Amino acid sequence: MSPALDRLTRLLQHVFIDAGSTFSLISLASALIISAAWLGVRRKRRTPLQLKVLARALFPSRIWKHASTRADIGLFVLSITGMSLLIGWGLVSARGIEHMVESGLNGTFGPSAVGAPAWLACGVLTVTGFLGYDFSYWLDHYLKHRVSWLWPFHRVHHTAEVLTPLTSYRTHPVDNLIFANISAVIIGVAEGVVHYGLGAHVSELAIAGTNIVLVAFLYTTIHLQHSHIRIAFTGWLGHVVFSPAHHHIHHSADPRHYDCNLGSCLAVWDWMFGTLQMPDPKARLTFGTVAEEDPHSATGTLLYPFLLAFRAVWPRRLHLPVFEENGEGDRTTEPLRKQW
């Protein structure tokens, strides 16, 4: 086997076969089964659900033939081929930061007097790693909805007019790079403190390199967050765990829903910081942002964000107007989803 073919084979295995991959066929199959079961339970008629009807409900042509989905596919290919280097760099940095924090604490306070059992240290580290990831996701997301020059890169994700599991890869490379580094810092610091505090050198529980708690969410809710299946968690559960309907609100084109539900797996960060909006299972939502460019083209998704970012920082240099929101809440030109 040639080196190029060998690299391609390993890449495809990592993306589609590894059980811990964010786009593994196993996790996608799990999401499909949950979706089919949900549609069956919600069906009003008591007659058996025909396979043809179920297939149309799961894979509506209006979504899979949409230009937005074609753009998702292109960015998915870019992400798995080119962005793995950037994400990998971020994860390597997390390990480096972890060792720096642990070494710094050792040098300042001396070796930890605690000698926690390996099983306890492993459990605490696993939960800490997951919480570090989830909080870093919320913080990264919050900043990109608030900082004028960051929003144009994140805005690429919000230009999706239909949602499919591929939409999670509808992200600009700059957006991915920023998240990789924010998560590296937060996870690295958190795990460094845990390693020092418990005085045990163990690894977190993981499947193919992915935190096992995050894998559990991958197999249950994360894929469905970018889908047309509106499963809603309400009550106390909806204040703790993100349902697909929570994230649908985040993508809503309704100005009332701007800048809310910024978390990934847990709703607690949004609940704590006042950005949580509980889903209404009966609400009819539309997705996307009004854009002056073609949001589904290569230019619109990859190059135009740089222009918008430059315009946000130095509008007079380009002799272009700063985008503003009109009186009716229609953000035809505003680069931020929230008026400052």
Query: CA–CA distance from 183 to each of 4, 58, 94, 107, 131 (Å)?
Result: 31, 33, 8, 25, 11
Q: What does the pLDDT read at residue 48? A: 65
Domain ranges of the chain: 3-63
Strand partners, 241: 266
Which residues in the chain come in under a pLDDT of 50? Answer: 87-91, 320-336, 338-340
Q: What does the pLDDT read at residue 322? A: 44
- Residues 84/12, Cβ–Cβ less than 8 Å: no
pLDDT digits (tens, 9 = 90+) for 25-55: 999 999 999 999 998 887 766 666 678 888 9
Question: CA 51, 70, 264 angle in degrees (round to 5)?
Answer: 80
pTM over 0.85: yes
Reduced to 3 states (helix: H, G, I; strand: E, B; else coil), residue 223 is helix
